[in-house]
Structure 1
Amino acid sequence: MSNYKQIFRDGLWGNNVVMAQSLALCPLLAVTTSATNGLGLGLASMAVMISANLLSSFFTPFISRAVRIPVNILMIATLVTITDLALNAWLHPLHKVLGLFIPLIVTNCAILGRVESFASKNSLLPAAADGLAMGLGFTWVLVFMGGIRELIGSGTLFANASLLLGENFAFLEMQIIPDYRGVLLLILPPGGFLVLGAMLAVKRLLERVAERKQAGAANCIAVAEGK
Structure 2
Amino acid sequence: MSNSTNYADITRKGLWDNNAALVQLLGLCPLLAVSSSVVNALGLGLATLLVLTTTNTVVSLIRNYVGDAVRLPAFVMIIASAVTCIELLMKAYTYELYQILGLFIPLIVTNCAVLGRADAFASKNNLLPSAIDGFMMGMGFLLVLVLVGAVRELLGTGHLFADMQLLFGESARSWQINVFGADFPNVIFALLPPGAFIVVGFLIAAKNAIDAQLKKRADARKSQTVKGSKRVRTTGNVA
Aligned to 2:162: 159
Cα distance in 2 for residues equivalent to 1:56 and 1:9 = 22
Residue 103 of structure 1, aligned match among 106, 131, 144: 106
- The alpha-carbon deviation at position 168 of structure 1 amounts to 5.2
Match for residue 177 of structure 2 among 170, 174, 195: 174
Structure 2 distance, partners of 1:125, 1:172, is 36
Q: 2 CA distance for matches of 1:14 and 1:172? A: 33
What is the CA–CA distance in structure 1 between the aligned matches of 2:155 and 2:76, rounded to whole Å? 38
Q: Which has the larger radius of gyration?
A: 2
Match of 1:222 among 217, 223, 226: 226
Aligned CA RMSD, in angstroms, stands at 1.1
Q: In 1, distance between residues paired with 2:175 and 2:210? A: 29
1:59 aligned partner:
62
Once the two structures are TM-superposed, the CA of residue 53 in structure 1 deviates from its matched residue by 0.5
* Distance (whole Å) between structure 2 residues aligned to residue 178 and residue 48 of structure 1: 38
Distance 1:168 1:131 in 2: 31
Over residues 145-181 of structure 1, what are the superposed CA-to-partner deviations in whole Å (9 max), with x where a residue is unaligned?
1000111111111110013442354464211111023
Residue 131 (structure 1) aligned with residue 134 (structure 2): yes
TM-score by length of 1: 0.97
CA distance in 1, matches of 2:138, 2:19: 9
Partner-residue secondary structure (3-state), 1:86: helix
Q: Which of 200, 206, 214 is the matching residue for 2:204?
A: 200
- Give the whole-Å Cα distance in 1 for the aligned partners of 2:136 and 2:25: 16
Q: Gaps (5+ residues) in structure 2?
A: 232-239
Give the counterpart letter for 2:81 in structure 1.
Answer: T
What 5-or-longer segments of structure 1 have no aligned partner? none
In structure 1, what residue type is equivalent to 2:94?
Answer: L
Q: Indicate yes or no: 2:18 matched with 1:15.
A: yes
Question: How many matched pairs?
Answer: 227
